[in-house]
Amino acid sequence: MNGPLFRHSVRMQRVKLIVVSTALAIWGFLLPVIYAKFGSQVRAVFDTGLFPAEFAEFGGGDLFSLAGSVAFGLIHPIAIILTSVFSVGYAASAVAGERQRGTLEVALSRPVSRRVFYLTLLVANFCFVAINVGSLLAGSVAGSAFAGVIDQLQLRNVPLLWLNAILLFGSFAAVGLAASVSFDRLPPALGVTLGYVVLMYFLDVLGSLWPDARFLQPYSLFHYLQAKSVLTGTFAAFDAAILTGVIAAAMGWALYVFPRRDLGAPG
Partner 1 sequence: MHAITTTGLTKHYGPIRALDALDITVREGEIFGFLGPNGAGKSTTIRLLLGFLRPTSGEGRVLGLDSVLDSVAIRARIGYLPGGVALYDSLTGEEILDYLGELSGRPPVRRAELCDRLELSPQTLRRLVRDYSRGMRQKIGIVQALQHEPELAILDEPSEGLDPLMQRAFYDILDVLKNEGRTIFFSSHVLSEVERVCDRVAIVRRGRLVAVEEIAALLARRMRKVDMRLAGTPPRLEDVPGVLNITIADGRLTCQVEGDIRPFLAAIVDAPIVDLTIEPAHLEDAFLELYKEADR
Reported as half-sphere exposure (CB side, CA atoms, 13 A), residue 163 has a value of 14
User: Binding residue for partner 1 (CB under 8 A) from 48, 53, 156, 264?
Assistant: 264
Residues in the chain: 267
267 is a site residue for partner 1 (CB under 8 A): no
User: Binding residue for partner 1 (CB under 8 A) from 53, 109, 156, 267?
Assistant: 109
257 is a site residue for partner 1 (CB under 8 A): no
The Cα 18–Cα 24 span in angstroms is 10
> Which residue in 72, 32, 28, 43 sits closest to 228, CA to CA?
72
103 is a site residue for partner 1 (CB under 8 A): yes
Of the candidate spans 5-13, 26-34, 159-167, 240-248, the one that interacts with partner 1 by CB under 8 A turns out to be 5-13
2 is a site residue for partner 1 (CB under 8 A): yes
The Cα 167–Cα 155 span in angstroms is 19
The Cα 231–Cα 74 span in angstroms is 12
113 is a site residue for partner 1 (CB under 8 A): yes
User: Binding residue for partner 1 (CB under 8 A) from 10, 14, 41, 102?
Assistant: 102
Reported as half-sphere exposure (CB side, CA atoms, 13 A), residue 128 has a value of 34
214 is a site residue for partner 1 (CB under 8 A): no
The backbone torsions φ and ψ at residue 49, rounded to the nearest 5 degrees and listed phi first, read: 80, 10
User: Binding residue for partner 1 (CB under 8 A) from 37, 110, 185, 214?
Assistant: 110
Where along the sequence are the contacts to partner 1 (CB under 8 A)?
Answer: 2-5, 8, 12, 101-103, 105-113, 260, 262-266
